[in-house]
Amino acid sequence: MTNNLDSNTSIKDHYSYPSWEKLKSLALSWDENLTNLFAKDPKRAEKYSLSVGQIFLDFSKNHIDEDIFEALCEIANDAKLPAWIQALYSGDLVNNTEHRPALHTALRTPELCPSEKQAEVKAALEKVETLVNEVHTGQWLGHTGKAITDVVNIGIGGSDLGPRMVVTALKAFKNKSLEVHFAANIDGADLADQLEALNPETTLFVIASKSFSTLETRENALAARRWLLNFGCKHEQLQHHFVAVSSNISAAIEFGIAENNILPMWSWVGGRYSLWSAIGLPIAFALGFDNFRRLLDGAAVMDRHFHDAPLKENMPAVLALLTFWYSSTQGYESQAILPYAQRLNRLPAYLQQLDMESLGKRVNHNGNPLDYNSGLILWGTEGTNGQHSFHQLLHQGTRKVLVDFIASIKPMSGLDSHHHYLSANCIGQSQALLAGKSFEQAYEELLESGKTEDEARKIAPHKVIPGNRPSNTLLLEQLTPESLGSLIALYEHKVYCLGVLWDLNPFDQWGVELGKQLGMKIYPALTSGECPDSWDSSTRSLIAKLGATGK
């Protein structure tokens, strides 16, 4: 019988887990069709769904049955996932290559984490609250004595993507007296476009950089400083316009930021897990401190669930096990994130860093090459825009793509009929992936539309949609700080689980270093026009072309 999932490829991944052979044989003998699974079990949707706080997950449209689900949970136990979860919260050195804990949970669920972090976290949050209140109430003044009207967050990667995504998503909770902007790229157009519309008298810059050594952030911060000085702000007045968030206090002071204006970051919080720390300052500026607090509370709901729930009911673990299943037994390499909520349009970009910077690894915890695939390629955009773009490939392409649909039950605008169309399209897409369209259906449709039998036979194959393609659907009661906090924490913990299942460290990112280092060597070659002969001819020719136009 044909294996519906993977008729052409054999399983190439290899794991030493005792349950792996069992899972593999279940995968090889699997011949069920999703439509049949639903027909056989009217309670399937109920059986394969979970609720945590304001989040509901329907994972029934997946190629699993009780045996497979059971075997996946056995794999999780073989990988000692429950112990790893406890290790995360206990502050064990789960980031083994940098000898650090990863205690982002301590920022929102301190009661589950080591008590010595609590005072530091509390003090940092108090500093965020004070600063935000000073700006919101007009007590913080620019160098000419005017209240601040605009904040520009200068940071990149984890010091940009999370705060930017949250501020965009929670527009409905925005503080009306302050505009928050973001500049990340080393392309000067990014900062220049922001500055164009801003007044140096009333603009506050947040220099957000855990390391305070990131090229993009340093150059944008220097440009912001020049902008203020050119306007007439004196050196000693710059403190009215700069605050920093960093774990490198001395570098921030050296840059010229008053010590009192520096908020802490810690080595035990990874950059891409840091929006809950003072790196979330732009969130608190944009939405008010109370809403920032609500975001943390939402994450805490997911943290407690992840900490306490048994594997089968553990939402992050279940999502991770599903990804593990498809990746390791059916060759899936791609994951689409499709939020059917306009204001979650930055979510895919945020999750790209969270997921791909964490899981894009080629060796295990001990440094040995992996015998299996690790992180998937994650991408996506907001629905329904994606439907008019890449959904064609999801429905009829030959590539295998995992899909997470995300929708809000309550609308975010007063346009109710829009919301029903939006929701209908979200459900329609997952139903189309599941059910597809057979040759017979396509043929009949063509006849009904007036085509001859001959024409219908020729066109029908092009209209066949195979279906039987999996998806998850996540529903938020409403897009609120609480539900968003839970959603982000859900994906953070899913990534952690995959790190455990794939036996890799999801908290380092050594792979990003080489390109940056080479860029630093190429910069002088570009500006001087002098290039070592030992460099390859492509690099030398590109330097000659870009160097010439850059002068």
Residue with tokens 């984890």: 158
DSSP assignment, residue 343?
G
Cβ closer to ligand F6P: 54 or 214?
Answer: 214
Contact call for residue 156 and ligand F6P (CB under 6 A): yes
Q: Which stretch binds ligand F6P (CB under 6 A): 115-123, 155-163, 362-370, 525-533?
A: 155-163
Question: Minimum distance between the CB of residue 265 and ligand F6P, rounded to whole angstroms?
Answer: 8
% helix / strand / coil in the chain, to the nearest 5?
55, 10, 35
Which of the residues are catalytic?
357, 388, 516
CA dist 302 and 375 (Å) reads 23
Question: Minimum distance between the CB of residue 521 and ligand F6P, rounded to whole angstroms?
Answer: 18
Among 142, 271, 280, 288, binds ligand F6P (CB under 6 A): 271
Per the rule left: phi > 0, alpha: psi between -120 and 50, beta: everything else, 185 is beta
Q: Which stretch binds ligand F6P (CB under 6 A): 60-68, 151-159, 281-289, 484-492?
A: 151-159
Cβ closer to ligand F6P: 278 or 434?
Answer: 278
DSSP assignment, residue 314?
-
DSSP string for residues in 486-520: HHHHHHHHHHHHHHHHTT--TT--GGGHHHHHHHH
Among 165, 509, 526, 531, binds ligand F6P (CB under 6 A): 509
Question: Minimum distance between the CB of residue 180 and ligand F6P, rounded to whole angstroms?
Answer: 18
Cβ closer to ligand F6P: 3 or 211?
Answer: 211
Contact call for residue 374 and ligand F6P (CB under 6 A): no
Residue 471: Cβ within 10 Å count: 24
Instruction: Give burial (CB, 10 Å; 0-12/13-18/19+) of 548.
Output: exposed
Cβ closer to ligand F6P: 211 or 334?
Answer: 211
Please provide the size of the chain in residues: 551
Bridge partner residues of 337 (DSSP): 404
Measured between its terminal Cα atoms, the distance across the chain in Å is: 65
Cβ closer to ligand F6P: 210 or 240?
Answer: 210
CB 319 within 8 A of CB 335: no
Cβ closer to ligand F6P: 272 or 361?
Answer: 272
Distant-in-sequence, close-in-space partners of 441: CB < 8 Å, separation ≥ 6: none
Question: Minimum distance between the CB of residue 398 and ligand F6P, rounded to whole angstroms?
Answer: 33
Neighbour order of strands in the sheet with 150-154: 179-183, 150-154, 203-208, 242-246, 262-264
Cβ closer to ligand F6P: 52 or 278?
Answer: 278
Question: Minimum distance between the CB of residue 395 and ligand F6P, rounded to whole angstroms?
Answer: 35
Question: Minimum distance between the CB of residue 270 and ligand F6P, rounded to whole angstroms?
Answer: 7
Among 60, 159, 291, 374, binds ligand F6P (CB under 6 A): 159
> Count of residues binding ligand F6P (CB under 6 A)?
14
Question: Minimum distance between the CB of residue 201 and ligand F6P, rounded to whole angstroms?
Answer: 28
Contact call for residue 480 and ligand F6P (CB under 6 A): no
Beta strand pairing status for 242-246 and 334-340? unpaired
Among 119, 172, 415, 512, binds ligand F6P (CB under 6 A): 512
Residue with tokens 């001959």: 454
The footprint of ligand F6P on residues 188-217 (CB under 6 A) is 209-211, 214, 217
Among 101, 158, 162, 383, binds ligand F6P (CB under 6 A): 158
Cβ closer to ligand F6P: 393 or 520?
Answer: 520
Residue 214: Cβ within 10 Å count: 22
Bridge partner residues of 246 (DSSP): 264
Question: Minimum distance between the CB of residue 67 and ligand F6P, rounded to whole angstroms?
Answer: 40
The CA radius of gyration of the chain, in Å to the nearest whole number, is 26
SS3 per-residue string spanning 344-367: HCCHHHHHHHHHHHHHCCCECCCC
Contact call for residue 220 and ligand F6P (CB under 6 A): no
Contact call for residue 157 and ligand F6P (CB under 6 A): yes
CB 476 within 8 A of CB 487: yes
Residues of this chain that interact with ligand F6P (CB under 6 A) are 156-159, 209-211, 214, 217, 271-272, 357, 509, 512
